[in-house]
Chain A
């Protein structure tokens, strides 16, 4: 009786024999061709070597392109550039300087290219290319015409973003102008900002301090600036009520800026003598060191009102929970989306993202500033329109998979997508080109 495994083993023996014969035949063939391969001919020289400026950049870069005539006989390229005047002055024999030796990947396709970086903008540069053969032999160098990098005056590829920026900026400016002419700039009430007076008042009544935390980032973060504008208002109220305001900071520049802001607030309410810079201190740049200080300070001093306005990361929940445990009234504001849930869960009021940026305008009550918020809403309408167009077209394309309706929807979708891809580019998903 013949079993399955036996049949299989017979088959495998047969296959093995076939493979062995095949390998042997290849071996013979290889040994016959070997002498020829050892003396492989020199690969043909590169053709059509061009050197041009890289567009839309600040200069300093040239694009080198060439054609490889015989791909199978090529194993790479050697690229050399002409020496600069400075290099020749140093060493008169230096005429060509090797830039790069590229491997097989560079000659897999007929058309090859390479970007030279760090090229001088002030003098012409020539480049020469030689194809490397399979055994490492070097074909004749082919030289390009001279070229000079140019610093582009305008980056054309960023036009979509410029249009969006221009549109939003114009909308803001138009609304500021309209607001000055008396057009209504009423915006909805923001409960968190209306609660500022209540929080400071409560601290005054209880004879406890008001704690203001301006985030953990430096002054180059727009959130810190937005936080300091809110601090201006809190400091004014505190100065009016004669409440004690404490501002521990995580950055030295923020400490200096916060002192200026609080001092200005005291001057604005006509009480410059009550300003004390001792309450505005630098603690440490170290994130968790700063948090440890704040947590300890809050537990010991028990401030009655805590404001967290700025850029926050992992420390948000530590601060908010500590504030909650001491029974403080807490108002937070941040544009860090990942921290918003923690503040919302543990604070009494939270300014979410754009509300936080609108706070300064809202608190100032100035028509100019309120107008700018209206202008910002026009930008939001543009984003909304793009989303609606995209959704409608994508839905149409699903309902009518073929035909002219689908083609049209696909075209509109493609144009909208490429426009916003171009304008938001790297930021992805429309998520924060700003």
Chain B
């Protein structure tokens, strides 16, 4: 009973307070309290997460499960960054408190933490993002096939946008006079029509649907109609 009722009460109360505070400024401090409590809980839960990460990876290493070497790398990286951050190894001294080591800044690459951030994490992050170029090409090759009318529309739009996004689009349509009746066929006009008319209209429709879906889902949760995400007794 309690396992289900208490979370439901907390959920409903928090939801109602957040809605109320938007319309009644006198209750704003209550909503700030709710948000602060979430942040505190998230902070505490992080310890749980870190504990779980250690346990899972240690278990993988000790039982020599496939990929245990990756688990070892994860643990070593985790420990190195944690220690470097905590002891502020190589931190730049604070101008006001030069003798207090822990008051120093780790932003610069002189600090071990800053160095790892700049020269390890940043390139790795950029590399992962860069992979998208490869995936986009292979997804386009597979997905843009004229199987039916809708697919032809999708394909045609992709074709036009791919062309007008590069200088080739302008090169191909530059001969059309900008003040003629056919000016709408120039690359920049086609791009504007597709993005600002069709795409924006479609996007607005999707966003209105999402906004209403969010509102209805929130209402179902606050009123306790939808209890799927809560534990059973």
Direct contact of A and B (CB under 8 A): yes
Q: Are B215 and A291 in contact (CB-based, < 8 A)? A: no
The one of B42, B50, B129, B211 that contacts A314, using a Cβ cutoff of 8 Å: B129
Q: Are B214 and A357 in contact (CB-based, < 8 A)? A: yes
Q: Which of B53, B121, B132, B207 has the most CB of A within 10 A?
A: B207
Distance in angstroms between the alpha carbons of A427 and B215 in the assembled complex: 14
Distance in angstroms between the alpha carbons of A4 and B28 in the assembled complex: 75
- Nearest CB in chain A: distance from B152 CB, A: 15
Distance in angstroms between the alpha carbons of A428 and B209 in the assembled complex: 15
Say yes or no: is B228 at the interface (Cβ < 8 Å to chain A): yes
Kindly supply a per-residue 1/0 record for chain A positions 239-270, scoring 1 wherever the CB is within 8 Å of any chain B CB and 0 otherwise: 00000000000011101110011011001100
Complex interface residues of chain B between 95 and 144 (CB less than 8 A to chain A):
121, 124-125, 128-129, 131-132, 135-136, 138-140, 142-144
Q: A284's closest neighbor in chain B, by CB? A: B53
Q: Are B209 and A380 in contact (CB-based, < 8 A)? A: yes
The one of A152, A232, A233, A379 that contacts B26, using a Cβ cutoff of 8 Å: A152
- Nearest CB in chain A: distance from B30 CB, A: 10
Distance in angstroms between the alpha carbons of A354 and B216 in the assembled complex: 10
Q: Which residues of A contact B203 (CB under 8 A)?
A: 337, 431
Q: Which residues of A contact B230 (CB under 8 A)?
A: 260, 264
Complex interface residues of chain B between 187 and 223 (CB less than 8 A to chain A):
200, 203-204, 206-221
Distance in angstroms between the alpha carbons of A379 and B212 in the assembled complex: 7
Say yes or no: is B170 at the interface (Cβ < 8 Å to chain A): no
Distance in angstroms between the alpha carbons of A261 and B56 in the assembled complex: 20
Say yes or no: is A57 at the interface (Cβ < 8 Å to chain B): yes
With an 8 Å Cβ cutoff, the count of chain A residues facing the other chain is: 92
Q: Are B70 and A296 in contact (CB-based, < 8 A)? A: yes
Q: Which residues of B contact A286 (CB under 8 A)?
A: 121, 125
Q: A153-B26, A228-B229 are in contact. Are A346 and B215 (CB under 8 A)?
A: no
- Nearest CB in chain A: distance from B101 CB, A: 27
Q: Which residues of B contact A288 (CB under 8 A)?
A: 124-125, 128-129
Q: Are B213 and A353 in contact (CB-based, < 8 A)? A: yes
Q: Which residues of B contact A173 (CB under 8 A)?
A: 219
Say yes or no: is B231 at the interface (Cβ < 8 Å to chain A): yes
Say yes or no: is B178 at the interface (Cβ < 8 Å to chain A): no
Q: Which residues of B contact A363 (CB under 8 A)?
A: 228
Say yes or no: is B36 at the interface (Cβ < 8 Å to chain A): no
Q: Are A346 and B139 in contact (CB-based, < 8 A)? A: yes
With an 8 Å Cβ cutoff, the count of chain B residues facing the other chain is: 64
The one of B25, B135, B212, B228 that contacts A317, using a Cβ cutoff of 8 Å: B135
Q: Which residues of A contact B125 (CB under 8 A)?
A: 286-288
The one of B49, B207, B217 that contacts A282, using a Cβ cutoff of 8 Å: B49
Say yes or no: is A70 at the interface (Cβ < 8 Å to chain B): no
Complex interface residues of chain A between 269 and 309 (CB less than 8 A to chain B):
278, 281-288, 291-292, 296, 300
Q: Are B215 and A432 in contact (CB-based, < 8 A)? A: no
Complex interface residues of chain B between 44 and 67 (CB less than 8 A to chain A):
45-50, 52-53, 56, 66-67
Q: Are B226 and A345 in contact (CB-based, < 8 A)? A: no
Q: Are B206 and A352 in contact (CB-based, < 8 A)? A: yes
Q: Are A431 and B211 in contact (CB-based, < 8 A)? A: yes
Q: Are A360 and B219 in contact (CB-based, < 8 A)? A: no
Distance in angstroms between the alpha carbons of A33 and B27 in the assembled complex: 60
Say yes or no: is A375 at the interface (Cβ < 8 Å to chain B): yes
Q: Which residues of B contact A402 (CB under 8 A)?
A: none
Distance in angstroms between the alpha carbons of A283 and B54 in the assembled complex: 10
Distance in angstroms between the alpha carbons of A229 and B213 in the assembled complex: 14
Say yes or no: is A364 at the interface (Cβ < 8 Å to chain B): yes
Q: Which residues of B contact A417 (CB under 8 A)?
A: none
Say yes or no: is B94 at the interface (Cβ < 8 Å to chain A): no
Q: Are A263 and B132 in contact (CB-based, < 8 A)? A: no
The interface-forming segment of A18-26, A154-162, A189-197 is A154-162
Say yes or no: is B149 at the interface (Cβ < 8 Å to chain A): no
Q: Which residues of B contact A263 (CB under 8 A)?
A: 231
- Nearest CB in chain A: distance from B113 CB, A: 15
Distance in angstroms between the alpha carbons of A318 and B209 in the assembled complex: 26
Q: Are A345 and B143 in contact (CB-based, < 8 A)? A: yes
Q: Show 5 residue pairs from A and B whose CB-CB distance is below 8 angstroms, ordered by the A residue.
A: A57-B25, A154-B24, A314-B129, A317-B135, A357-B217
Residues of A within 8 A of B (CB): 56-59, 151-155, 158, 161-162, 165, 168-169, 172-173, 176, 218, 220, 222, 225-226, 228-229, 232-233, 251-253, 255-257, 260-261, 263-264, 267-268, 278, 281-288, 291-292, 296, 300, 314, 317-318, 320-321, 324, 335, 337, 340, 342, 344-346, 352-354, 356-358, 360-361, 363-364, 366, 368-369, 372-373, 375-376, 379-380, 383, 427, 429-434
Seed contacts A58-B25, A155-B24, A321-B138; 7 additional CB < 8 Å A-B pairs? A168-B215, A218-B42, A229-B226, A261-B231, A285-B46, A369-B225, A432-B210
Residues of B within 8 A of A (CB): 19, 22-26, 28-29, 38, 41-42, 45-50, 52-53, 56, 66-67, 70, 121, 124-125, 128-129, 131-132, 135-136, 138-140, 142-144, 200, 203-204, 206-221, 225-226, 228-232
8 tightest Cβ-Cβ pairs between the two chains A and B: A252-B49, A357-B213, A354-B213, A282-B49, A434-B211, A345-B143, A252-B45, A354-B209
